[in-house]
Amino acid sequence: MPVIEYREAIRDALAEELTRDANVVVFGEEVGQFQGAYKVTKGLLEKFGPKRIVDTPISEAGFIGMGIGASMLGVRPVMELMFWSFYSVAFDQILNNAANVRYMSGGQINCPIVIRGPANGGTNVGATHSHTPENVLANHPGVKVVVPATAYDAKGLLKSAIRDNDPVFFLENTMLYGEKGEIPTEEYLIPLGKADVKREGTDLTIVTYGRCVLHSLAAAALLEKEHDVSVEVVDLRCIRPLDIDTVLASVAKTHRVLIVEEQKPFASVGSQLAYMIQREAFDELDGPIHRLATIDAPAIYSPPVEAEQLPNPQRVLKAALAAVA
């Protein structure tokens, strides 16, 4: 199979869906002439033209609101945020309008919009550009939240997201755009709401998503090599809908759990997971549920300090050893 970058996998998904469905359009800041702030949309303007690949003003409230309105009329917009941190500028449009329109219309109006872009720290762009809002987004019924870790998952999940009739918030990671993976030449889709066991193990379950999947896999390899600890890594892929069944099956197998996330620890996705695991699988646990998150402070501007603020393989290794102690 061809080996391509994460950003190329997203681009291929966009190109395939633009070709398949004339109602699919791409909107965002610099997605056209500049070919994307992270070159995800490179070449799409030339191939599909300015009516399908549309540069927007620097006004998230404006162009996200426009996309939501268009989606109610049958268009399938894919809206790029240069940083997911700017979702707050369009909070009313995204989480008050898009999330509720199907419910409030009695199922008569769909809102098939995808909002995508990077949501992560680690690039030393400061506290206002480094948010991970998946917990805030997932708190609102009516939306779907996707956080892919690999190029393969990013492509398959994005194609499914574009075809979905609900608002889908697709959170990427700047640090993953250059990561490479094998991608089949034939078309494939990955259903939303289905977790994936990235590594089989027997002693500890690590539940994670996004870039922390890579950190967890690296730590799992070290744990097996240096400490004879067998770790199972469950990649959620979607925060909502959440595949809790795959998580519980892994917990029943290993009986110990570590949740790893690039979120602040208070009221995070990990908080919800810990509650659900203890509620549904308390008798399977041989020890307390452990959690590892970003250190609870605004994103630190200093590159070496921010690297320690976020989860990394060594921090995961240390937390895993505590979980199996």
Q: What is the mean pLDDT of residues 270-296?
A: 97
**HSE-CB for 144 with a 13 A CA cutoff:** 27
On the question of a cis peptide bond just before residue 241, with omega within 30 degrees of 0, the verdict is yes
215 is catalytic: no
Q: Please determine, for residue 1, whether its predicted confidence score (pLDDT) is greater than 90.
A: no
129 is catalytic: yes
When the pLDDT of each residue in the chain is averaged and rounded to a whole number, the result is 97
Q: Which of 17, 60, 261, 284 is catalytic?
A: 60
Instruction: Name the strand (E) or helix (H) holding 198.
Output: strand 196-199
**Confidence label for 301 from pLDDT (cuts 50, 70 and 90):** very high
* Predicted local distance difference test score (pLDDT) of residue 114: 98
Q: What is the mean pLDDT of residues 239-244?
A: 98
pLDDT (tens digit, 9 = 90+) per residue, 45-62? 999 999 999 999 999 999
Q: Which of 17, 29, 129, 284 is catalytic?
A: 129
Instruction: State in words which class domain 196-324 has.
Output: alpha beta
pLDDT (tens digit, 9 = 90+) per residue, 127-150? 999 999 999 999 999 999 999 999
* Predicted local distance difference test score (pLDDT) of residue 320: 98
List the domain boundaries for the chain: 3-182, 196-324
Q: Please determine, for residue 276, whether its predicted confidence score (pLDDT) is greater than 90.
A: yes
Tokens 């609102």, located at residue: 140
Domain 3-182 grouped into CATH 3.40.190.150: no
Percentage of residues in the chain having pLDDT higher than 90: 100
pLDDT (tens digit, 9 = 90+) per residue, 156-197? 999 999 999 999 999 999 999 999 999 999 999 999 999 999
- What token pair was written down for 24? 């699919």
Identify whether the C-beta of residue 17 lies closer than 8 Å to the C-beta of residue 155: no
Rounded CA separation 197/207 (Å): 9
